[in-house]
């Protein structure tokens, strides 16, 4: 009897251990992706080689959702962008993000395509810079030239739009945030504000005073889609999975629950 009880106890103990320490999930495949080690708001956050534990970036959060949807494990590394492309070309990475399309970049890896052409419908995001002005202002933009801008224009410090606007001859006042710029414009210290459209629109929707006093100028200053890339080596061995990655990124992009995460990045 004692032996029988001991055997039952050991069996229960084993099952108890299994219950407390579940078996590690076996993913169908493990992949390595890379992104730039410089902050790209709101896609990749932090100037670091590490992935931030809190609010790591919308693109990184998309990768985590991608893992769940396709039952794969994706290790994310962060390098200078040129190194990301170099490692992708050599096949040391399975994917890299985020890249705008340039014909010469096709040597490094695969972009999503349809009928042999780049497929914007499977982009991850579109980086759009837009001009904002006070309602009633005669400031404008015709798609090529800025109209009636004689004063300062606010723009986010360190962003590519700053140099673009300076080349157009505008007097740029660099600022740490678009909200700062909007408040300066309301006080008459700026004539216009150039901002990431998703950021500017978010502020206008969330603040009644801003919405009443500020409006967006159309067309956009610049509009550029950004993509996930897949290495030629990985695509050659796993074309179906690669296409699923491209397809799923587009699905994630449009998911309302995913889009709500943007609020965590725009303060």
CATH code where residue 68 lies? 3.40.190.10
Does the residue 255 lie in any domain?
Answer: yes
Structure confidence at residue 167 (pLDDT): 92
The CA R_g of the chain, rounded to the nearest whole Å, is 24
Structure confidence at residue 74 (pLDDT): 98
Structure confidence at residue 8 (pLDDT): 45
Cis peptide before 204 (omega within 30 of 0): no
Q: Is 252 exposed, middle or buried (0-12, 13-18, 19+ CB in 10 A)?
A: buried
Number of domains forming the structure of the chain: 2
The boundaries of the domain holding residue 71 are: 29-110+231-264
Structure confidence at residue 265 (pLDDT): 85
Nearest alpha-carbon partner for 130 in 222, 61, 24: 222
Structure confidence at residue 131 (pLDDT): 98
Does the residue 62 lie in any domain?
Answer: yes
Structure confidence at residue 218 (pLDDT): 95
Residues 238 and 211 reside in one and the same domain: no
Does the residue 98 lie in any domain?
Answer: yes
Degrees (nearest 5) of the Cα angle 189, 194, 196?
Answer: 135
Residues 69 and 137 reside in one and the same domain: no
- Asked if residue 230 lies in contact with residue 95, where contact means CB atoms within 8 angstroms, the answer is yes
Residues 37 and 92 reside in one and the same domain: yes
Q: How far apart are CA 234 and CA 262, in angstroms?
A: 31
Residues 59 and 189 reside in one and the same domain: no
Residue spans of the chain under pLDDT 70: 1-26, 267
Q: Copy the structure tokens of residue 231.
A: 């290495």
Structure confidence at residue 177 (pLDDT): 83
Structure confidence at residue 14 (pLDDT): 45
Does the residue 122 lie in any domain?
Answer: no
Structure confidence at residue 5 (pLDDT): 45
């Amino acid at each position: 009897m004692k032996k029988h009880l001991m055997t039952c106890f050991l069996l229960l103990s084993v099952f108890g251990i299994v219950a407390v320490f579940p078996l590690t999930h076996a993913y169908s495949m493990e992949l390595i992706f890379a992104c730039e080690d410089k902050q790209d708001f709101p896609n990749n956050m932090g100037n670091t080689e590490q992935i931030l534990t809190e609010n790591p970036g919308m693109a990184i959060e998309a990768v985590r959702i991608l893992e769940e949807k396709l039952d794969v494990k994706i290790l994310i590394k962060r390098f200078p962008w040129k190194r990301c492309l170099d490692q992708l070309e050599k096949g040391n990475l399975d994917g890299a993000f985020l890249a705008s399309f340039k014909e010469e970049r096709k040597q490094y890896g695969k972009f999503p395509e349809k009928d042999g052409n780049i497929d914007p419908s499977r982009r991850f995001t579109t980086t759009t810079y837009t001009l904002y002005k006070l309602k009633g202002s005669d400031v404008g933009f015709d798609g090529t030239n800025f109209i009636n801008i004689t004063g300062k224009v606010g723009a986010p410090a360190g962003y590519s739009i700053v140099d673009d606007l300076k080349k157009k001859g505008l007097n740029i006042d660099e600022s740490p945030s678009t909200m700062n710029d909007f408040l300066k414009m309301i006080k008459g210290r700026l004539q216009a504000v150039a901002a990431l459209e998703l950021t500017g629109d978010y502020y206008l929707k969330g603040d009644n005073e801003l919405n009443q006093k500020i409006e967006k100028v159309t067309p956009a200053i610049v509009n550029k889609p950004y993509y996930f890339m897949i290495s030629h080596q990985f695509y050659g061995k796993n074309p179906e999975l690669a296409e699923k990655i491209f397809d799923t990124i587009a699905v994630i992009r449009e998911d309302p629950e995913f889009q709500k995460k943007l609020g965590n990045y725009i303060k």
